[in-house]
């Protein structure tokens, strides 16, 4: 087991605990136990608790951004781009709902440093740019782009709430997954209608 693996072990344990209980309520001993390491070791890889939060936040942001930007269909229609964003969004969420929930819970908390905020803004700007371009092209309704991103982001987050709390963080059953997939499809259609209604 390399040192890199141990860092990942710690981050994964922290992700689960932070998303379940929040950053403040999560105790270092909990992380230690879940990661299967000892108190001293954690401080070989991270300066302190806050450092874990920030490294985890940035890793999460980069993961999401990478997933959304890799193979992004720049030259296709807005509908295709919209579907691409939703399809990959759903994949990210269903694969690891804790990630989104962790982000939503900690997004604006104290404890996030400049670098973390920049990582968030990168993702936010990506969505914002998509909306702005759609508005310029006359495909999306006019107005403050924040309203549309609020709908999209808020809708996604609230569905994650459902995923997380429906079974107390356990893995999703097949029927749950189908149910969520259906909600996701409805949300996509509803958002698209909202975006394009004139």
Partner DNA sequence: GTTAATGGAATGAACGTTCATTCCTTTTGG
Partner DNA sequence: CCAAAAGGAATGAACGTTCATTCCATTAAC
Answer for which of 141, 169, 172, 176 binds its own copies (CB under 8 A) is 141
Contacts with DNA, 11-50, as mask; x by CB under 7 A: ---------------xxxx-------xxxxxxxx---xxx
* Burial annotation 15-24 (CB, 10 A radius, 16+ → b, else e): bbbbbbeebe
Least Cβ distance, residue 189 to its own copies (angstroms): 8
- Here's the x/- map for its own copies, 100-139, by CB under 8 A: it reads as -----x-xxxx-----------------------------
3 binds DNA (CB under 7 A): yes
Looking at the Cβ atoms of 2 and 175, the one nearer to its own copies is: 175
**Polymer length of the chain:** 198
Q: State the virtual CA torsion across 72, 152, 15, 18 in degrees, nearest 10.
A: 160
Distance between CA atoms of 122 and 143, rounded to whole angstroms?
22
Among DNA, its own copies, none, partner that 122 touches (CB below 5 to 8 angstroms by kind): none
CB of 77 to DNA, least distance (A): 49
Q: Distance between CA 134 and CA 39 in Å, rounded?
A: 50
Applying the rule CB under 8 A, the residues between 20 and 79 that interact with its own copies are 21-22, 24-25
From DNA, its own copies, none, which one binds at residue 141 (CB under 5 to 8 Å depending on kind)? its own copies
Q: How far is the CB of 170 from its own copies (least distance, A)?
A: 15
Binding-site partner at residue 15 among its own copies, DNA, none, CB < 5 to 8 Å by type: none
Give the Cα separation of 13 and 66 in Å (integer): 22
What is the C-alpha to C-alpha distance for residues 137 and 132, in angstroms, rounded to an integer? 9
Contact 192, 82 (CB under 8 A): yes
Stretch (H or E) spanning 147 = helix 145-166
Q: Rounded CA gap, 86 and 181, in Å?
A: 11
Q: How far is the CB of 4 from its own copies (least distance, A)?
A: 31
Give contact residues for DNA (rule: CB under 7 A): 1, 3, 6, 26-29, 37-44, 48-50
């Amino acid at each position: 087991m390399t040192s890199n693996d141990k860092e990942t072990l710690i981050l994964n344990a922290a992700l689960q605990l932070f998303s379940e209980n929040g950053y403040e309520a999560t105790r270092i001993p909990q992380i230690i136990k879940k990661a299967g390491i000892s108190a001293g070791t954690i401080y070989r890889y991270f300066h302190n608790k806050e450092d874990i939060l920030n490294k985890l936040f940035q890793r999460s942001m980069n993961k999401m951004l990478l997933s959304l930007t890799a193979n992004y269909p720049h030259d296709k229609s807005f509908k295709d781009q919209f579907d691409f964003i939703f399809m990959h969004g759903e994949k990210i969420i269903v694969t690891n709902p804790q990630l989104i929930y962790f982000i939503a819970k900690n997004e604006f908390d104290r404890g996030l440093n400049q670098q973390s905020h920049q990582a968030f803004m990168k993702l936010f700007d990506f969505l914002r740019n998509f909306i702005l371009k759609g508005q310029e092209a006359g495909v999306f309704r006019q107005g403050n782009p924040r309203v549309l991103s609020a709908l999209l982001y808020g809708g996604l987050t609230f569905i994650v709430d459902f995923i997380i709390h429906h079974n107390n963080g356990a893995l999703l059953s097949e029927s749950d997954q189908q149910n969520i997939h259906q909600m996701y499809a409805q949300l996509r259609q509803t958002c698209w209608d909202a975006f394009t209604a004139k």
